[in-house]
């Protein structure tokens, strides 16, 4: 039992308003960042374009109209900004690494929508809006790191208890109930014995708008993992995924699967030809795996191993059973594409915990506590554990994978799925975690 942490008699809480530097306030304001982005990427290029047209033609008056492309790019920047703010708070994330893919997606969909409705697409705005937006958000990210790094205060928590702490966060032990200006959040160990005055101080923090988190919450946010060592650690309700989002996600899974069916079938057909040219035999491989709520199903894959090769149900580093074509298919994750039919059959999702072979699932369930909790959501072609750990086989590695799976189930949401999709694209290029 930890001793009671006494409250100092002279407790104070900084308002910090006058002490914050102007640049810091601008950087922390989403409205300012978004407003300047729209000004620099949409308004300034438009005014410059109109001024150049005016100087070239010198008409008596230049009519002003709100062009569709200006509305579209305003929407693209706003959606990208919102996405960055939501994704930036996810664990294990570098905000700078999300800027280009996030705005590439929003601008691409915007341009496709303009082409679909046959709206005019100006080359000038297309060539200026995207690079200016990306440059601006890189500048904001760099200035935030330099001038306004996040500061997290610790109450009843010792720094060694957190293990490896992220270097981009300023950690400060709060001993005198004195919070510096610019403190992003405060972490409290719920097992620490705090006296009544400390409770009053924490309440004042919340009323002043400073978030107060339990230690376990901040650990999960920093590591991207949820660990349970006993039933006492387990908040069972927190692991029950959102039923509403699960149903909504199912609709999007089927819709995207139908839209992707034609290009996916083309890639599968080309890959199947190369598979059969290198190693005679079937191009496809089917294996019984554990799915939603532990139900078995037949998982479809492109064959990446030679026929009639003995070995375990999992692959190992440098596995000699894998063909040359198979190694490429595994690296790019193309071998998983036939699972689009598992999605259409209602057995899988695009994103979720990777399904394991029945024999491996039984082995892990017998050795890893709470292993079957991962079946609370539909298995996916890619997932939170897959983008951070890759393929695993050993029991200890499976425990780490389960910690990632628990995090996905506990924080099951649209934004987490978007983040996994973006990281999957990067992994398909790098080949991380393939065997």
- Least-confidence region, from 93-97, 204-208, 237-241, 331-335: 237-241
Q: Which two tokens stand for residue 299?
A: 């998982």
For the segment 116-155, what is each residue's pLDDT rounded down to a tens digit? Answer: 888 877 788 888 899 999 999 998 888 877 776 677 888 8
Confidence (pLDDT) at 50:
77
Q: Is the pLDDT of residue 11 over 70?
A: no
- Using alpha carbons, select from 328, 336, 337 the residue that is nearest to residue 265: 337
172, containing H or E segment: strand 170-173
CA–chain centroid gap for 114, Å, is 28
For the segment 264-293, what is each residue's pLDDT rounded down to a tens digit? Answer: 999 999 999 999 988 888 899 899 999 998
**Could you tell me the pLDDT band of residue 299, with boundaries at 50, 70 and 90?**
very high
Query: Whole-angstrom Cα distance, residue 420 to residue 398?
Result: 19
∠ CA 72-78-79, nearest 5°, is 90
**Could you tell me the pLDDT band of residue 182, with boundaries at 50, 70 and 90?**
low
- Least-confidence region, from 42-46, 211-215, 370-374: 211-215
Q: Is the pLDDT of residue 237 over 70?
A: no
Confidence (pLDDT) at 254:
94
Span 29-33, average pLDDT: 84
Q: Which two tokens stand for residue 171?
A: 């950690």
């Amino acid at each position: 039992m930890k001793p009671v942490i006494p409250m100092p008699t002279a407790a104070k809480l900084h308002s910090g308003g006058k002490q914050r530097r102007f640049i810091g306030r601008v950087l922390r304001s989403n409205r300012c960042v978004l407003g300047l982005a729209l000004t620099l990427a949409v308004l300034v290029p438009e005014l410059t374009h109109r001024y150049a047209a005016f100087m070239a033609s010198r008409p008596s008056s230049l009519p002003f109209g709100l062009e569709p492309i200006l509305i579209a790019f305003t929407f693209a920047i706003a959606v990208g900004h919102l996405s960055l703010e939501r994704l930036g708070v996810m664990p294990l994330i570098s905000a700078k690494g999300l800027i280009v893919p996030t705005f590439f997606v929003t601008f691409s969909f915007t341009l496709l929508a303009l082409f679909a409705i046959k709206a005019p697409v100006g080359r000038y705005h297309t060539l200026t809006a995207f690079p200016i937006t990306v440059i601006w958000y890189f500048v904001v990210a760099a200035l935030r790191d330099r001038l306004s790094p996040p500061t997290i205060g610790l109450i009843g928590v010792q720094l060694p208890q957190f293990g490896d702490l992220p270097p981009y966060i300023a950690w400060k032990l709060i001993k005198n109930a004195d919070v510096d200006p610019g403190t992003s959040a405060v972490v409290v160990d719920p097992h620490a014995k705090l006296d009544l005055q400390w409770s009053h101080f924490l309440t004042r923090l919340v009323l002043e708008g400073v978030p107060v988190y339990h230690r376990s919450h901040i650990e999960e946010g920093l590591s991207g993992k949820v660990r349970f060592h006993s039933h006492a650690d387990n908040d069972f309700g927190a692991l029950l995924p959102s039923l509403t989002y699960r149903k909504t996600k199912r609709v999007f899974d089927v819709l995207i699967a139908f839209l992707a069916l034609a290009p996916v079938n083309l890639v599968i057909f080309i890959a199947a030809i190369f598979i059969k040219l290198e190693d005679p035999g079937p191009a496809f491989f089917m294996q019984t795996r554990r799915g939603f709520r532990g139900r078995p199903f037949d998982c479809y894959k492109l064959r990446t191993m030679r026929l009639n090769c003995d070995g375990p149900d999992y692959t190992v580093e440098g596995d000699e059973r894998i063909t040359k074509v198979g190694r490429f298919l595994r690296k790019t994750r193309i071998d998983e594409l036939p699972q689009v039919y598992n999605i259409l059959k209602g057995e899988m999702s695009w994103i979720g915990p990777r399904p394991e072979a029945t024999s491996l699932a039984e082995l892990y369930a017998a050795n890893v506590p709470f292993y079957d909790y991962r079946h609370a959501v539909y298995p996916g072609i890619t997932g939170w554990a897959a983008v951070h750990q890759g393929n695993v086989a050993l029991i200890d590695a499976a425990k780490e994978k389960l910690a990632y799976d628990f995090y996905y189930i506990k924080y099951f949401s649209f934004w987490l799925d978007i983040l996994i999709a973006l990281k999957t694209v990067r992994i398909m290029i790098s080949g991380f975690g393939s065997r």
